[in-house]
């Protein structure tokens, strides 16, 4: 069968084009952002290769990419039983898409690690050997026993993932900055799906799957693990990452933004959020 072809171009919309589309239309150049946008070196050219990174930043990027790839591969293991266990046809299809997306995100993080030569490759080999229960962050060592776990995990934990990725958007390491837009658009599907699963359970549990009570139990179980994922509030590493132009926010700033975002969402489903201090392991 022939592969699907891109739709034929249509006339430009009547609305006035933005600077990018105007430049495209006129055959001009689209300039990427080449300068560091925040931290101690604002205005200096971004780092474009692993070789030119200062040692401390090099180590930091490796560490963050190992954690990133580990979470992507771990979540595949967590989702796997639901590929053919999700309650509806559509849910199974979305599960399959999520697993494919997480595999691609893992690949993308590993490609960044590969640029660090033999050292990077060693980390990749270790990552590929990790099984359930051996992952860095607690949230990724917990099995999805119930369908409600899938809903709450994707609603909360994937949403934290989005905050982590957004923090890298337009960061000082060019190859990492350029990986962000596609990953972010795919993650958006995951967290919207999580919200819809919990909402359907809370509203229509008996006709759909589980119950409102099951949805509440899952919220109570995953919310503290999601808050932990942001890391320690007074982390020196997160301050360094900001100074290097690598991350945009401190752990605490990102956690507070997340809490502000999910509070009305959970309320809209008729569910309750536990206190942000309840059942926490990392403060």
Q: Is 91 in the site for Fe ion (CB under 5 A)?
A: no
We find the least distance from the C-beta atom of residue 214 to Fe ion, in angstroms, to be 22
Residue 105 interacting with Fe ion (CB under 5 A)? yes
Which residues fall within 8 angstroms of residue 280, CB to CB, at 6 or more apart?
224, 227, 228
Measured N-to-C along each axis, helices 212-228 and 174-204 cross at an angle, to the nearest 10 degrees, of: 160
Query: Near Fe ion by CB under 5 A, which window of 29-37, 80-88, 102-110, 219-227?
Result: 102-110
Shortest distance, position 20 Cβ to Fe ion, whole Å: 26
Lay out the site mask for Fe ion across 175-194 (x = CB under 5 A, - = otherwise). ------------x--x----
Site string (193-222) toward Fe ion, x via CB under 5 A: ------------------------------
Q: How far apart are CA 27 and CA 126, in angstroms?
A: 46
- Nearest approach, Cβ of residue 229 and Fe ion (Å): 13
**Size of site (CB under 5 A) for Fe ion:** 6
Identity of the residue, 105 or 247, whose beta carbon is nearer to Fe ion in the bound complex = 105
- 243 or 265, CB closer to Fe ion? 265
**Identity of the residue, 42 or 100, whose beta carbon is nearer to Fe ion in the bound complex:** 100
Could you tell me which stretch among 15-23, 133-141, 158-166, 272-280 binds Fe ion (CB under 5 A)? 158-166
Query: Binding marks (x or -) toward Fe ion, 57..76, rule CB under 5 A?
Result: ---------------x----
Q: Which is nearer to Fe ion, 91 or 245 (CB)?
A: 91
Q: Counting contacts by CB under 5 A, is residue 255 touching Fe ion? A: no
Q: Does 102 bind Fe ion (CB under 5 A)?
A: yes
| CB of residue 101 to Fe ion, shortest distance in Å | 6
Residue 158 sits in the site that holds Fe ion (CB under 5 A): yes
> Rule CB under 5 A: which residues touch Fe ion?
72, 102, 105, 158, 187, 190
């Amino acid at each position: 069968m022939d592969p699907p072809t891109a739709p034929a171009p249509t006339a430009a919309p009547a609305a006035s084009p933005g600077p990018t589309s105007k430049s495209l239309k006129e055959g001009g150049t689209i300039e990427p952002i080449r300068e560091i946008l925040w931290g101690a070196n604002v205005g200096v050219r971004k780092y474009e290769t692993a070789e030119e990174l200062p040692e401390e930043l090099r180590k930091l990027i490796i560490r963050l990419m190992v954690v990133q790839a580990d979470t992507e591969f771990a979540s595949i293991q967590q989702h796997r039983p639901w590929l053919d266990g999700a309650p509806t046809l559509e849910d199974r299809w979305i599960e399959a898409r999520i697993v494919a997306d997480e595999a691609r995100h893992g690949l993308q993080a590993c490609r960044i690690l590969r640029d660090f030569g033999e050292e990077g490759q060693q980390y990749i080999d270790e990552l590929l050997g990790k099984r359930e229960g051996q992952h860095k962050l607690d949230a990724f060592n917990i099995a999805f026993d119930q369908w409600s776990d899938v809903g709450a995990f994707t609603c909360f934990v994937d949403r934290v993932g989005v905050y982590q990725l957004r923090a890298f958007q337009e960061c000082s390491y060019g190859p990492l900055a350029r990986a962000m837009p596609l990953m972010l658009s795919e993650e958006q599907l995951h967290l919207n799906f999580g919200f819809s699963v919990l909402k359907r359970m809370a509203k229509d549990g008996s006709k759909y799957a589980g119950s409102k009570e099951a949805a509440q139990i899952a919220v109570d179980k995953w919310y503290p693990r999601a808050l932990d994922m942001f890391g320690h509030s007074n982390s020196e590493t997160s301050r360094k990452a900001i100074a290097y132009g690598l991350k945009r926010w401190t752990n605490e700033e990102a956690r507070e933004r997340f809490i502000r975002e999910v509070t009305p969402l959970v309320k809209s489903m008729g569910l309750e959020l536990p206190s942000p201090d309840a059942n926490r392991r990392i403060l």
